[in-house]
Amino acid sequence: MACRISELILDAADPERLAAFWSEVLGYVELGREDDGSIEIGPPGAGAGGPQPTIVLSACGDPRPGKLRLHIDVNPTDRDQDAELARLLALGAEPADVGQTGTESRHVLADPEGNEFCLLRTRLPPL
């Protein structure tokens, strides 16, 4: 295994409402809040990087047209970020421009159908 899903990001007009809903649906708890209004939820006692992905409800009053409301973040598990980036590109991923500055610790990519996802830097242990 080379990657696993670590976080699911969902744009939300009302992060509080969606966090409460998905926490009830999944038995998740609130793990944290950001200054931008985003709320992260996940399995009780596990937190980020645990065996199940967390969900980040990201405050977004006006999503850009055509943007998926959900994208996946993946973390390498058996190699560093650069090696995993090369592997994903070889599999058919392409760099995606969502307005990055070039200083981010993540790479924004698109799958072969154009769905955006992020490759994060931190290596996680495989399950």
- Residue 84: Cβ within 10 Å count: 22
Q: Domain of 15: which CATH number? A: 3.10.180.10
Number of domains in the chain: 1
Tokens for 102, please give them.
Answer: 């070039």
- For residue 114, what are the domain limits? 3-119
In a domain? residue 126: no
Predicted local distance difference test score (pLDDT) of residue 121 = 95
Q: pLDDT tens for residues 74-121?
A: 999 899 999 999 999 999 999 999 889 989 999 999 998 788 899 999
For residue 55, what are the CA distances in angstroms to 70, 72, 88, 99? Answer: 10, 10, 23, 23
In a domain? residue 125: no
Bridge pairing between strands 39-42 and 54-59: antiparallel
Exposure on the CB side of residue 34, measured as CA atoms within 13 A: 11
In a domain? residue 127: no
Give the predicted TM-score (pTM) of the model. Answer: 0.67
In a domain? residue 124: no
pLDDT at 61 over 80: no
In a domain? residue 48: yes
Mean pLDDT for the chain?
Answer: 87
